[in-house]
Amino acid sequence: MLLLLFLLTLAVFFLFNLLPFDPARLTCGKICTPALLEANRHRLGYDLPLLQQYWNFVSGIFVGRTFAGEGTLPGIVCSAPCLGYSFLRHEQVLGMIVKSFPVTFWLTVGGFVMWITTGLAAGIYAALRRGRWQDRTLMGIALIGYSMPSFFLGLLLIFFVVLTWHLVPFPSFAPPEQDPVRFIQTMLLPWIVIAVLNAAFYIRLTRNQVLETFSEDYVRTARAKGLPERVVVVKHALRAGLTPIVTAAGLDIGYLLGGAIITESIFSLQGMGQLALSSVVNSDLPVITAVTMVAGAFIIFANLIVDLLYGVLDPRVRVG
């Protein structure tokens, strides 16, 4: 786990520093002279060997960094944990991430609740009605949802729900503790977009898992005990087939916490995805690096959680 995180920072750092643009150039502004450029490069540490830069970056996470002032430019202190400093926006990258994260967090949580409930419910229902028209209809809807581009669905929703029918005002994020009504109004459509895209996959997964475990001997035992079909399906068949669903859900959550670029852009939500996008557009290297690392860390973390959940779900995995 720690090794993975270390490898992640290493890979991301070197990957982005191999890109052929000069971060010092961005700090230089319009009246750039070669001397000023060189001075900036030196001040920001971009003239050091790459390995030294990497060390500065990593140690900055634990002890913070300072960039010396020079001439009219004030010195910059980036306190620990320092994930870098955006010289373009004159902000600590960590602060930018902390500001963006709640939006992404709520987007992920709400979307997850919607997709997992509809995915499980519709998947179980399709499995129970396998081969009949209900099953076929659901699978058809799932296929459409699966292949629907998120920007298309998002724009459709905005066009009809917001602009034509005026059911909700135009999205503008408010934290749930400040303005719960506006929070829900804003997040509802993004949630639906996230949920539709993911639920489609979970309907199919749940249906297949339930159908697979249906032929297991212990499901037959459950029926032989005289349990109602509902209990047989949920407590015995679905419970046994839950592992792949939990795995997929964990990874999807980890992935989404790193930012849903398209969905956030369409609904102008200032989340992690937007942060990543704008930093890429502006070639803001410290931000790109940090956001990518944080997104990667979420996936590693999600993996760890999933591994721990295996032990909870399957007693055979538990040790000792």
- Does residue 226 bind other proteins (CB under 8 A)? yes
Q: Is 313 in the site for other proteins (CB under 8 A)?
A: yes
Q: Is 114 in the site for other proteins (CB under 8 A)?
A: no
**ω into 81 cis (within 30 of 0):** yes
Cα distance between residue 128 and residue 135, in whole Å: 8
Q: Identify the CA nearest to 4 among candidates 307, 314, 318, 225.
A: 307
Closest approach of Cβ 227 to other proteins, in Å? 5
* Residue showing tokens 């760890």: 304
Among 33-41, 149-157, 173-181, 311-319, the segment contacting other proteins (CB under 8 A)? 311-319
Distance from C-alpha of 300 to C-alpha of 303, rounded to nearest angstrom: 5
- 């956001």: which residue's tokens? 291
Minimum distance, C-beta of residue 216 to other proteins, in the bound complex (Å): 7
Asked whether the beta carbons of 158 and 267 are under 8 A apart, the reply is: yes
Tell me the number of residues near other proteins by CB under 8 A: 22
Residue with Cβ nearer other proteins (34 or 131)? 131
Which string of x and - marks every residue 238-277 that binds other proteins (by CB under 8 A)?
-xx-------------------------------------
Contact by Cβ (8 Å): 106, 180: no
Query: Alpha helix locations (H) across 82-132?
Result: 93-128
Task: Give me 269's structure tokens.
Answer: 């939500």
Q: Rule CB under 8 A: say whether 210 interacts with other proteins.
A: no
120 to 159: interface string for other proteins, x by CB under 8 A: -----------x----------------------------
Site residues (vs other proteins, CB under 8 A)? 131, 216-218, 220-229, 231, 236, 239-240, 313-316
